[in-house]
Structure 1
Amino acid sequence: MQQDQAVYGDVQFLTGSPHRRAVLDALCAEPARPHELCAEIDATRTTIQRILAGFREREWVVKHDGDYRATVTGRRVCEQYEALHEEVTRARRFGPLAAHLGPDADDLPVAALEHGRLTVSEGGSPLAALSRFTEWLGAVEGDMRAVSPVVAQPFNEIGAELLSGDTRIEFVIDSAVLEQSKARYEAELQFGVDHDQMTIYVHESPLSLGVALDDERCCVIAYDDGNNLKAILEAGDGELYDWATEVFERYRERSVPLPGLSDEGTTATEG
C-alpha cells in the first residue's frame, strides 16, 4: 500500500503541470542546463529548479558537470506517459463511437481506431454521421452485406436503387426491426423479400450495432438508445474490414432467412 501511494505521488507530480512533462521531454532529447530549459520552455528559473529537484529525487534525472540529463528510467517514464497521453486522446476522439457499439465491439481492432475515418454527430453537426452513412451507401460498388438494428425510409430508398442495378444484398435485421418494417414499411419490406437479388435474415435478439460492407469498403455504425445514428467508422480493406466481415457472418449464422410477410411466427434462432 505504501509503495502504491508513492507511485501515485510520482504520477501526480509528473501530470500536475505541463512544464514538468516539457522539461522531461527536453532532457530526454539532450542534456541541458537550467537557463537553457528556461528559454526553451518559457518558465521561470524557480519553476525549473523545483521541477529538476523533483526529478532528481525520483532519479529520473541526474546532474553532471552542471548539465542535467534523463536517466534510463526517466526516459521510460517519458515514453510511457506519451503513450498514455496518445491513448487518452484517442479514447476522447472515439468515445462517441465506442459508447454506443455495445459488447459485440469489445474486440474491435485498435488499428481501426488509428487509421479509420470517423464521423460523429455532435454539437453543431447533429446529422453528420447520418449524412456520411447515406453517402457511403450511395457509393456502394459490387455486392453489399449489412447488419442493422434500425429501419428508416432513406435507407429503404437507397437499397431499392442498389437493387435496380446488379448489386446483391444480404441484410440482417432483428425481430424489432422486422415488426417496425411490417407496421411502417410493408411495401418496401415485401419488395425486398420478393427481389431475387436480396436476402433478408432475422436475428431474434436485439442487435447492438450496425455494419455494412461492399467489395472494397466497410463501415461500423453506432446508434444511441433512441436509434439515432451517433457515429460511423469507415475503412477500406484491412483489419476493420476483416472484423466487420466476421461480425456480419456471426450474426447471419445466428439468424434465419425471412421467406415472406405471411410467416408471422418467423424468428431467428441463437447459435
Structure 2
Amino acid sequence: MVQEHEAYGDIQFLTGSPQRRAVLGALCDEPARPHELCADIDATRTTIQRILAGFRERQWVVKHDGDYRATVTGRRVRDRYESLHEEVARARRFGPFAAHLGPIADDLPAAALETGRLTVSEEGSPLAALSRFTEWLQAVEGDMCAISPVVARPFNEIGAELLDEDTGIGFVIDATVLEQSKAQYESELQFGADHGQIDIYVHETPLAIGVAFDDRRCCVVAYDDNNNIRAMLEATNDELYEWVQDVYERHRERSTPLAALYGSDGDRVESQKR
C-alpha cells in the first residue's frame, strides 16, 4: 500500500502542470541545462529548477556535468503518460458518441476510435451529425443494409430514391417505428412492404442505435433519449465494417419480416395463423 500511495503521488506530481510534462519530454529528446529549458518552455527559472528537483528525487532524471538527462525509467514514464494523454483526449472527443451507444458498444473495435471519421452534433452545429448521415445515405453505392430506431420523411425519401436506382435494401426497425410509420407515413410503409427491392424486419425489442453499410462503407449512428442524432462514426472496409455487418445480422436474426406483421392491404395479419 505504501508503494501504491507513493506511485499515486508521483502521478499527481507529473500531471500537476503542463510544464512538468514539457520538461520531461524535452529531456527525453536530448540532455539540456535549466537555461536551455527556460528558452523553450513557458516557465520561470525557479519553476524549472523545482521541476528538475522533483524529477531527480524520483530518479526520472539525472544530472551530469551540468546537463540534465532522462533515465530509462523517466523515458518509460514519459511514453506511458503520452499514451494516457492521447487516450484521454480521444475519450473527450468521442464522448458524445460513446455515451449514447449503450451496451452494444462493449465490443466496438478499438481501432475504430483511431481511424474512423467522427461527426458530432454540438453547440454551434446541432445538426452536424444529421446532415452528415443524410449525405452518407445519398452516396450509397450498391446494396445497403441498415438498422434505425427512428422514422423521418427525409430518410423515407432517400430510401425511395435508392429503390428507384435498383438498390437492394435490408432494413431493421422496431415496433415503435412500425407504429409511427403506420400513423404518419402509411403510403411509404405500404410502398416498402410491396417493393421487391427492400426487405424490412421488425426487431423484437426497442432499438437504441443505428448502423448502415453499403458495398464499401459503414457507419454507426448514436441517438439521444429523444431519438435525435448526436454523433456518427464512419469508415470504409475495415474492422469496423465487419463489426457493423455482424451487428446488423444479429439484429436481423432476432426480427420478424414485415410481411408477417403487415399485410399487402395495409392491415396487420394474424401472426399466430397456421
TM-score relative to the length of structure 2: 0.94
Please tell me whether residue 79 in structure 1 is matched to residue 84 in structure 2.
Answer: no
What letter matches 1:95 in structure 2? G
- 1:262 equivalenced with 2:267 (yes/no): yes
Distance in 1, Cα, partners of 2:257 & 2:221: 23
Are the counterparts in 2 of residues 140 and 214 from structure 1 also a CA contact under 8 Å? yes
Q: Aligned with 1:166: secondary structure? A: coil
Where does residue 59 of structure 1 map in the other structure?
59
Once residues 39 and 120 of structure 2 are traced to their aligned partners in structure 1, the CA distance between those partners, rounded to angstroms, is: 40
- Contact residue 217 and residue 234 of structure 1 kept, 8 A: yes
Asked if the contact 1:258–1:266 (Cα under 8 Å) also holds between the matched residues in 2, the reply is no
Deviation at 1:2? 2.5
1:175 aligns with 2:180: no
Give the superposition deviation at 1:16. Answer: 0.6
Matched residues in 2 for 1:113 and 1:247: separation?
17
- Inter-CA distance 129–123: structure 2 relative to 1 (3 Å threshold): same
**Other-structure match for 2:90:** 90
Alpha-carbon separation, structure 2, partners of 1:170 and 1:55: 60
Structure 2 residue identity aligned to 1:188: E
- Count of residues in Structure 1 that have an aligned counterpart in Structure 2: 267
Task: After TM superposition, give the deviation of residue 263 of structure 1 in Å.
Answer: 2.8
Q: Which residue of 1 aligns with 2:146?
A: 146
1:7, distance to aligned residue in structure 2 (A): 1.3
Which residue pairs with 1:251 in the alignment? 251
SS across alignment from 2:111: helix
Match of residue 191 from structure 1: 191
Q: Deviations over 1:53-99 (max 9, x none)?
A: 10011111111121111111100110011001100111111111111
Give the 3 Å change call, closer, same or farther, for CA 6–192 of structure 1 in structure 2.
same
- SS of the aligned residue for 2:68 comes to strand
How far the C-alpha of 1:186 sits from its partner, in A, is: 1.3
Whether 1:234 aligns to 2:239 is: no
What does residue 220 of structure 1 align with?
220
Runs of 4+ in 1 over 3 A off after TM superposition: 264-267
Tell me if structure 2 keeps the 8 A contact 1:172–1:251.
yes
AA of the residue aligned to 2:102: G
Match of 1:12 in 2: 12
Question: What corresponds to 1:114 in structure 2?
Answer: 114
Match of 1:105 in 2: 105
- In structure 2, list runs of 5 or more residues that go unmatched: none
Cα deviations across residues 173-222 of structure 1 (Å, max 9, x unaligned)?
A: 11111111111111111110100001001111111210011111111100
The amino acid across from 1:182 in the alignment is: K
Letter matched to residue 21 of structure 2: R
1:28 is paired with a residue whose SS is helix
- 1:162 alignment partner in structure 2: 162
Q: Distance in 2 between matches of 1:95 and 1:265?
A: 44
SS in 1 for 2:268: coil
- Inter-partner Cα distance in structure 1 for 2:223 and 2:65: 61
- TM-fit CA distance, 1:264: 5.4
1:104, 1:208 within 8 Å by CA — same for their partners in 2? Answer: no
